[in-house]
Structure 1
Amino acid sequence: MIKPKLSLKGRALRYLSMREHSRHELARKLLAYVQEGDDLEALLNFLEDSKFLSDQRFSEALVNKRQARFGNRKIMAELQSHNLPKEDLEDLKDVLRDSEEKRAIDVLHRKFLNPPIDHREKTKQMQFLAQRGFSSGAISTAIRASRLSAEDFEG
């Protein structure tokens, strides 16, 4: 049985039903399916006007999904790759900044149950957090917090 070919609007709604997309990302995905007579910009405007497509909702969903595992640098880099408005990025950066140290501690404690025992282990743990986009201040706080919490358990 032959499946009917999806229209550009149908394909866009299918993508949006699976997860949130930024306007830039959805346009990139749909570009391969644009045929003669299709107006991609008009479709994207319609989806935004109908509240099916929202860059703000996309950015909030991405932050919620990524913040349990990654630092501000990595999350902001991913958001910037979607060509989001600068105002939205600044607001999100402020929200993320407030929780980065706690998130770094949580990520470190999930991966490394014990505090570093020597310089080599400390470097390994610091690199782990740096690769996930945490700032140097958050990394320092997380390394110190892991030592303090381990000493608290022993005493």
Structure 2
Amino acid sequence: MDGLENKQLMREIRLAAMTLLARREQAYKELVVKLLKKFDDLVQIEQQLDYLVSEGLQSDQRFVEMYIQSKVVKLQGPMRIRNELLSKGVSDNLVDDGLREADVDWFDVARRLVARKYGEHSVSDIGAKEKAKRIRFLQYRGFSMDEIVAVLNNSD
């Protein structure tokens, strides 16, 4: 590849990355995976993404913050959010810091989810089978057993 073709490739990779970022915040590794589908030069992709990071156009920290807030609005719990972020290639430390700094009352999020899904029906009014169903639902949504027990016991 000559110098002109190389510069053209770098411009195309940068434009493709910026187009993806214009739609929504994206994790670094998420961008790498998407760009590799279009371009086969990992070195150039990482170089262009590093430029975007240095320019402040891509930030995994900003991505984590936005992702957590969007999932809280959807009433998802911290364990599910954590697993999804890790699957997108975000580092453990960044995920843990983001969840801690989000300052979210996860008990309140779980309470709102239970109220939306099941209304104001008390757990004492339901059988063991229904209670187990609610526990599984809240676990699937990413809440810890502490949060689940607290919410189900307070709905009496």
- TM-score per shorter chain, which class? 0.7 to 0.9
C-alpha distance in 2 between matches for 1:124 and 1:86 = 31
Are positions 1:142 and 2:151 aligned together?
A: yes
The more displaced of 71-80 and 87-96 is 87-96
Paired positions, count:
142
Are positions 1:115 and 2:138 aligned together?
A: no
Listed as ranges, the gaps of 5+ residues in structure 2 are: 1-10
Identity of aligned residues (%): 27
Equivalent in the alignment of 1:84: 90
Bigger proportion of residues as helix = 2
* Corresponding letter in the other structure for 2:72: Q
The more displaced of 14-23 and 94-103 is 94-103
Deviations 1:59-117 (A, max 9, x none): 00110011232111111111111232333222123346862111111111110012232
C-alpha distance in 2 between matches for 1:35 and 1:132 = 37
14, 20, 45: which one aligns with 2:50: 45
Q: TM-score, normalised by structure 1?
A: 0.82
Shift of the 97–60 alpha-carbon distance from structure 1 to 2, 3 Å rule, reads closer
C-alpha distance in 1 between matches for 2:133 and 2:122 = 11
Q: TM-score, normalised by structure 2?
A: 0.81
Equivalent in the alignment of 1:58: 63
Listed as ranges, the gaps of 5+ residues in structure 1 are: 1-5, 148-155
C-alpha distance in 1 between matches for 2:52 and 2:67 = 19
4, 10, 18: which one aligns with 2:15: 10
Are the equivalent residues in 1 in contact too, given 2:61–2:98 (CA < 8 A)? no
